[in-house]
Amino acid sequence: MFHVKHEAWVRDLTALGLALDAAQVDALAAYAELLARLAVPRGMIARSDADRLWERHVADGLRGAAELPGEAVVADIGSGAGIPGVPLAIALPRSRFELIEPRRARAAFLEAVVDEVGLTNVEIVPKRVGDVRGTYDACVARAFSSPLATWEATQPLLDRRGVLVYWAGEGFDRRPLDELGVPTRLSTRLDLARTGPLVIMGPQ
């Protein structure tokens, strides 16, 4: 499946500090194809993003790889179509990912992704976040809720040293987090999608 057009992807991955093999790049391509074939027509991804799935979604999800501990157990909160959990699971095969998604159609899509891409380190959890009972080394969240609401939702799930990696929008305001004393830092990793920063909450 690997094609010359994916060489640009490899350059983006290198810029993010990721050295993926051809099989991993093929897996990312297979996932992007599923997004185009199934997620966009079903309204899980905006149709306006159909021609920029790599930079707007897949590569954007991969920005979080450098912020996750090695060989971690990670929860993707409100996973939706699998961003950022699926790209991260492909890039970090030694970590285990649980994609938490209560909506039936989206959970079914994620199951199809796991089967078709062959992700052995991913489990789908078809529950609301508040109904999940587990402890994770890290949580990741993109387009879930406000920064503060996401922090409050994930705190019960995080290990004592666990962190939340949150994909913020361009208008991110850290003052509500600072006012409550939430330990916070902003990632300075390259932002290929030109969206807002990654916000890492928890022990620094």
Q: For each of the domains in the chain, give its residue range(s) and CATH number, in order of start.
A: 4-201 (3.40.50.150)
Tell whether the torsion through CA atoms of 173, 179, 182 and 188 is positive or negative.
Answer: positive
At residue 9, the pLDDT reads: 87
Q: Report, as ranges of residue numbers, the positions in the chain whose pLDDT lies below 70.
A: 1-5, 189-194
At residue 196, the pLDDT reads: 83
Residue 13 burial (CB < 10 Å; 0-12/13-18/19+)? buried
Q: What is the pLDDT of residues 114-142, one digit of tens each?
A: 999 999 999 999 999 999 998 999 999 99
Q: Which residues are CB-neighbours of 143 under 8 A, at least 6 positions away?
A: 78, 80, 167
Task: Report DSSP state, residue 35.
Answer: I
CA separation, residue 191 to residues 118, 169, 196 (Å): 28, 12, 8
